[in-house]
């Protein structure tokens, strides 16, 4: 519904606009009630002062035998889309339902924050998401994900340098925690796009910021994945590794780039973001030179070259993801400020 309303002036500085009667009647506002007025860029958004955020429900119907992973991927999609109640219904002719439902519950509890089972029968599972956005605001959640990813990468590099399989295993186990925070952040951002009040609660000024926070969170999660890839290679590397120390040194540069890119976000600093982008480009070039001019032409075994190439690929991607975080920071800063000084 779009209506054209005329603005009237009352007194010396106040302006009045009438509200559509159909809208007033549909939500039950009476004379003397208050409404909330949100400033959203050049627009104003009016909501009832007592209204609750919309509760969204969805249903997944499993019609034939499929893997638990396939069902869980659909569940994650609905979690990220902002649904509050998710019902999973299985056709009763599917065998092994009790085991499938048990595995789904375990995956949901490990990977998805705030999920509780509120009802369960032989062929039905009802999940309720009980996250409170005020308990873990957006930036606190991002800082927590950053800390997890930083520690995973630092430990993965140390494990690779020293062939510490116990430390490598710990990195692999922590990937679930990184996924958990990543999914929670994406859910918050989805809800922000659905409800202007949530966007304001999260401290986001416009949808452009939301998209860039989405890119930023995804890049952090991908860095965690590559820390896990490095940890997996710990089990394969030989005891005597000619180039592992050099790869570790470049890994430390990748770790430094990650933290510098996040520092640019916390300070919303264009200068630090630009420095990160330049340093990432130089680090990728140095990494490429190590692989092409030293590792590949060397006389080390093909298996060792393969392992180092896989670590090289992960480090290169981590550097580029850090570059992406810095670029997202620039986009967030520009979205908040109409005038930028380049100097």
Per-residue pLDDT tens digits for 231-245: 999 999 999 899 999
Neighbouring C-beta atoms of residue 304, cutoff 10 Å: 19
Q: Is the separation of the CB atoms in 303 and 184 below 8 Å?
A: no
Who contacts 30 (Cβ-Cβ below 8 Å, separation ≥6)?
none
Residue 328, pLDDT score: 97
User: CA–CA separation, 199 vs 40, rounded Å?
Assistant: 10
Residue 54, pLDDT score: 63
Q: Which two tokens stand for residue 14?
A: 């106040």
Residue ranges in the chain modelled with pLDDT below 50: none
DSSP-based three-state secondary structure for 178: helix
Q: For 200, list phi and psi in degrees, rounded to 5.
A: -70, -40
Total count of residues recorded for the chain: 343
Q: Pick from 71, 73, 76, 118: which is nearest to 99 by CA?
A: 71
Q: Which two tokens stand for residue 18?
A: 């009438």
Q: Supply angle C-alpha 57, 61, 67, rounded to 5.
A: 120
Q: Region of 203 please: left (phi>0), alpha (psi -120 to 50) or beta.
A: left
pLDDT in tens, 232-284: 999 999 998 999 999 999 999 999 999 999 999 999 999 999 999 999 999 99
Torsion angle (degrees, nearest 10) of CA 39, 43, 48, 51 = -80
The model carries a pTM of 0.85
User: CA–CA separation, 277 vs 319, rounded Å?
Assistant: 9
| Residues facing residue 58 across a β-bridge | 86
């Amino acid at each position: 519904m779009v209506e054209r309303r005329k603005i009237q002036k009352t007194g010396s500085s106040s302006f009045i606009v009438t509200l559509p009667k159909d809208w007033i009647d549909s939500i039950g506002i009476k004379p003397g009630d208050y409404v909330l007025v949100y400033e959203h860029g050049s627009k104003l958004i009016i909501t009832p002062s007592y209204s609750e955020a919309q509760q969204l429900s969805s249903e997944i119907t499993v019609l034939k035998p499929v893997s638990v992973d396939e069902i869980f991927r659909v569940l994650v999609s609905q979690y990220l889309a902002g649904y509050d109640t998710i019902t999973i219904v299985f056709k009763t002719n599917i065998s092994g339902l009790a085991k499938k439902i048990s595995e789904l519950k375990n995956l949901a509890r490990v990977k998805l924050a705030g999920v509780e089972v509120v009802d369960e029968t032989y062929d039905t599972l009802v999940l309720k998401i009980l996250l409170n956005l005020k308990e873990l605001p957006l930036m606190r959640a991002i800082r927590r994900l950053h800390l997890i990813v930083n520690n995973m990468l630092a430990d993965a590099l140390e494990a690779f340098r020293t062939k510490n399989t116990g430390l490598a295993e710990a990195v692999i186990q922590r990937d679930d925690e990184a996924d958990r925070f990543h999914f929670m952040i994406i859910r918050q951002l989805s809800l922000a796009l659905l409800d202007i009040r949530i966007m304001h609660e999260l401290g986001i000024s416009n949808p452009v910021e939301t998209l860039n926070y989405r890119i930023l969170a995804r890049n952090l999660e991908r860095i965690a994945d590559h820390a896990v890839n490095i940890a997996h290679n710990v089990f394969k590397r030989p005891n005597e590794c000619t180039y592992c120390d050099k790869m570790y040194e470049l890994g430390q540069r990748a770790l430094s780039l990650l933290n510098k890119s996040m520092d640019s976000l916390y300070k919303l600093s264009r200068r630090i973001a630009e420095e990160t982008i330049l340093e990432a480009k130089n680090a990728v070039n140095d990494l490429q030179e190590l692989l092409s001019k030293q590792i590949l032409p060397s006389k080390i075994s093909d298996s060792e070259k393969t392992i180092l190439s896989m670590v090289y690929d992960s480090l290169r991607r981590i550097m580029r993801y850090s570059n992406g975080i810095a670029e997202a920071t620039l986009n967030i800063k520009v979205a908040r400020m109409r005038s930028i000084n380049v100097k």
